[in-house]
Amino acid sequence: MTILANILIIFFIVVGLVFIVVTAIGLFRLPDLYTRTHAASKSATLGVMCILIGVFLHFWLIENHFNPAILLGVLFLFITGPVGGHIMSRSSYIAGVKPWSGTVRDDLKPEIERMKKEQGIK
Amino acid sequence: MSFQILLNFFLAFLWMFLSSNYSLSRLIIGYLLGLLVIIALRKFFKTRLYVDRVWAVIKLTVLFIKELILANITVLKLVIKPKLDMQPAFFKYDTTLTEEWEITLLSSLITLTPGTVVVHVSDDSKSLFIHVIDSQDIDETIDSIKYSFEKAILEVSRS
């Protein structure tokens, strides 16, 4: 029984670590802010969630201590992760960060220009 | 919907008082019996059964977790690949959802799907501007958003 629990815990923590390493490599390799947002908002969320689940299972199955605060942490990460990615990319687009030169189509540019004209922002 | 839940709790407490045994197990038995009564009398309610809606929420959650895992595998492949040959693009997606919470939910679902991040929601909240990391299969992405996520959200919200 303990072996099974240990396998589960190690699995979750290793998967979380792999995803966090992927996030770090992605932040180095990808060409512009918007593609880096993909790496940061997805892999980081799932990576930290997996590590938290591993910690929760360790304390629950090995040390017999049920800690609901960790589960709440998982839930909050789940809700706030994508919102963070959205806000970062939106505010940098409005502030004028240029997308990578390989970007093939841009429907957003006229919309933002129209919005800025309406509100009188340069 | 909240009326049905309140009614169900009322029936559960009624069962507890009828059997004059005030324990949690009695309450749960009363709740299940009340659920049976509510299902039997479903044609007298104007809205649909709340059990139906709870089931739709569970399906949406499963979809959410599945998409999160798929998204991460996509990003992993993209980052590990030796040559950067993706074609990012911003595209406009017109949504049929009207309520604010539905649009927020759809935006977080899209942000957690493989290769898409919502950058901007238009002022009239009729269209979302999505940054897609690889635009070679853009139509497929739009179809998958339309037919899986919007459908699941509408399933939760319809009365």
- Please indicate whether residue B21 or residue B34 has the higher confidence score (pLDDT): B34
Binning pLDDT at 50, 70 and 90, where does residue A12 land?
Answer: very high
B48 vs chain A: nearest CA distance in angstroms? 28
CA distance B116 to B141: 9
What residues of chain A, 11 to 30, have a C-beta less than 8 Å from chain B? Answer: 18-19, 22, 25-26, 29-30
Residue B32 has pLDDT above 70, yes or no: yes
Domain-located, residue B136:
yes
Full domain range(s) for residue B143: 56-158
Task: Select from B93, B123, B125, B126 the least CA-distant residue to B111.
Answer: B93
Is residue B31 located within the same domain as residue B72?
A: no
Is residue B62 located within the same domain as residue B106?
A: yes
- Long-range contacts of range A5-9, CB-CB < 8 Å, 24 or more positions apart? A5/A57, A5/A61, A5/A62, A6/A62, A8/A57, A8/A61, A9/A54, A9/A57, A9/A58, A9/A61, A9/A62
Query: What value does the mean pLDDT of chain A take?
Result: 84
> Chain A to chain B, count of Cβ pairs less than 8 Å apart?
110
| CB–CB contact A86 B123 (8 Å) | no
Is residue B66 located within the same domain as residue B137?
A: yes
Looking at residue A102, its pLDDT comes to 64
pLDDT tens digits for range B42-62? 888 888 888 888 888 898 888
A122 vs chain B: nearest CA distance in angstroms? 18
pTM over 0.80: no
ipTM greater than cut 0.90: no
Strand arrangement, sheet containing B89-94: A105-106, B89-94, B127-132, B116-121
Residue A48 has pLDDT above 80, yes or no: yes
Is residue B35 located within the same domain as residue B65?
A: no
Q: What is the total count of domains within chain B? A: 2
Domain-located, residue B14:
yes
